[in-house]
Structure 1
Amino acid sequence: MSQPVVDAEGVVGRRFQFCPWIEGWAEGQDDFMITCPRCSEFAARCCQHYKYESEKSCHHYRIVFTDGACLSNGKSHATAGIGSAIGATDAEFHQWSIPIDDSVDCFPKQSNQRAELLAAIYGLRLLSDARSNGDVEDDHEHETAQVLSGHMEDKPYWVVTTDSEYVVKGMTEWLPRWKVWCLLFSPILVPICENLTYAQSVNLFF
């Protein structure tokens, strides 16, 4: 298969976007990602990949999925939990499932938005732990992405994937205001702001 013209796949304003070719080619959500057959990690399908028929991953855009949920949302007896996954196995370095108790978040009332934020925080921690423990390697001996001048930087990215519009807009649009609110109004935003500052330094995006 011949290589299509590549245009603007990457991170814009802390938000990841696919190139128009993949947007038009994909028939469903599963077509936007690859589960690596060698290491079982998740990666976004790379538009610079020179063999589109291949299911090998270049790992240029690694993915972590995060989700949070809350029963009895916002009430005093609410219960919540969070999950994060960077790979298809249930090994601890690939997936976390965590009930929210006082050791995770001591705020008196849990909510869906808090759970989604906490899931993003712990997703970043899962990525960070995997990097520091060597569970996620920089060189998987897979095919490497072709770096085309002006289209993609020669360095890998981490992409945090969530179904929460609140988290996505918070990280991509509202972050400057949130950094002020971190100190003044909302303690839960302190760790996510701190994690995002770290994330930007090692190329983690939403």
Structure 2
Amino acid sequence: MKKPVLVTAVVAACLIVAGLVFFLVQRATAPDPASVPVVGADSHVLDDGGDGAVTVVEFLDFECEACGAYYPVVEDLRATYEGRITYVVRYFPLPGHRNSLTSALAAEAAARQGKFDEMYQRLFETQGEWGEAQESRADVFRGYAADLGLDLDTYDADIADPAVEHRVRADFDAGRALGVGSTPTFFVDGSPLVIERWGDLEAAIEARLPR
């Protein structure tokens, strides 16, 4: 065998072995989906229906157009089923969107000042103004923080705090472990919901309400 061919074969074999090792390590270190709760201890609860309520969990990306399209549907359902559902949202910022993580950080910083729901609504209601931008819109989100009456010094410190990004990424990692690959992804009473039509989420809620 000629030397160049031999070198190529060796390199290819090394890559295969390295890839196999990486796969085995990832599989060994990845959390067991059964051990990952759909609702985390620090998950953001928008509505708490109390005991017996249907629990709906949404993994979302504030820049995702599909999430933006579902936002008014979700708000209608929250109003319709107030007191009968517990509605929880978790971050799942998609890497293909420039401001997915940035907007999630803004929401988490707002949450630290008790304004998560307000920032959640503001981000979706204004998505058309900043979504799909190719540059950071952190200044826009800071403006929303000011509008919502947040202490901006505290907001700035929280945005820069690695713990805030860790909190967002923890949701993302939990979502991946639970099989989430796109947004919005809904879980109803712990079970993933496949959305095919606009009314599927409401139908799933109705099916689980006590008769």
TM-score by length of 1: 0.22
**1 or 2, which has the higher helix percentage?**
2
**1 or 2, which has the higher strand percentage?**
1
Structure with the greater alpha carbon radius of gyration: 2
